[in-house]
Amino acid sequence: MDRNGLGTHAGQRREQVLITGASAGIGMELARCFAADRSTLILSARREAELQLLAAELRTKYEVEVHVLPADLADPSGVAALLSALTELGLSPDVLVNNAGFGARGHFAELAAGRIEGMLAVNVTAVTRLAHALLPSMRARRRGGILNVASTAAFQPGPYMAVYYATKAYVLSWSEALFEECRDEGVTVSALCPGPTHTEFSSVAGTDDTRLLKLGSMDAVTVARVGHAAFRAGKPLSIPGFNNRLGAFSVRFFPRALVRKLVTKLQK
């Protein structure tokens, strides 16, 4: 048995894993990692067709049960509908993978209000509400946990992506705090902090031509595997890639004014 108290044992039901943002990128690769563990999967995102294609692939390749529950997490009623759909189907996830998220580049004052509200709703509110609703049963069962996808953006302020960086700082801070609250309860809370990764993220955020992206990106498969392995090992934090780890840890030794200027250069 691994550190999460998971795995399938005689007489124990199969682990259920809810993954948000499973229609693309890192979330899709995380779904493949958990399917390889033979967990029952619950896939969510807005695009149902992509989720159904992935579900069909996972059922065939890993012979696992897969449920598709489309939801728009920018909408408070979308989060509520997802939670009710779980109850209606008699599902109670042992693992929540809070992966859905997006960024938006630009001067804060010039971003559309709807984009800002959407980022706060998906990256912060939905993540928190899903965890708050699902954590009590994980604690009662003393198994499973939460894998939160934060970012290396969480470690410093991000001029020209100010709200996105701040949402990820929230996710990392909250996640590490929950890790401590849950550590003796058989429940793992782990934050995955990727650096730039080849997914649809940059086209959605409008960051394709930034200096940061020109420095290089990792592939979503590697990023997902690192996060999945860290979660299974009960680690509070994982940062895929040596350069990303170096950046995240060295930033605390530099003057904040210098860090702000550097990130401005990389994002503007």
Ligand X SMILES: NC(=O)c1ccc[n+]([C@@H]2O[C@H](COP(=O)([O-])OP(=O)(O)OC[C@H]3O[C@@H](n4cnc5c(N)ncnc54)[C@H](OP(=O)(O)O)[C@@H]3O)[C@@H](O)[C@H]2O)c1
Stretch that binds ligand X, among 7-15, 35-43, 194-202, 252-260 (CB under 6 A): 194-202
16 vs 152, beta carbon nearer ligand X: 152
Whether 164 is catalytic: yes
Q: Which of 5, 6, 16, 25 binds ligand X (CB under 6 A)?
A: 25
Instruction: Tell me if 177 sits within 8 A of 223, measured CB to CB.
Output: no
Q: Which stretch binds ligand X (CB under 6 A): 67-75, 89-97, 180-188, 259-267?
A: 67-75
81 binds ligand X (CB under 6 A): no
Q: Looking at 37, 43, 55, 72, which residue binds ligand X (CB under 6 A)?
A: 72
| Strand order across the 95-98 sheet | 66-68, 40-44, 16-20, 95-98, 145-149, 188-192, 237-238
Q: Which is nearer to ligand X, 34 or 143 (CB)?
A: 34
Q: Which of 101, 145, 159, 236 binds ligand X (CB under 6 A)?
A: 101
Q: Whole-angstrom distance between the N-terminal and C-terminal Cα of the chain?
A: 47
d(C-alpha 162, C-alpha 103), whole Å:
9
Among 14, 38, 46, 129, binds ligand X (CB under 6 A): 46
SS3 90: coil
In this chain, which of 47, 183, 214, 252 binds ligand X, going by CB under 6 A?
47
Give me the catalytic one of 62, 160, 164, 165: 164
What's the token pair of residue 155?
């470690």
Q: Using CA atoms, how far apart are residues 26 and 23, in angstroms rounded to an integer?
A: 9
CA distance 164 to 247: 18
Q: Is 165 exposed, middle or buried (0-12, 13-18, 19+ CB in 10 A)?
A: buried
Residues with active-site annotation: 164
Question: Given the rule CB under 6 A, which residues bind ligand X?
Answer: 20-27, 45-47, 71-74, 99-102, 122, 149, 151, 194, 196-197, 199-201, 204
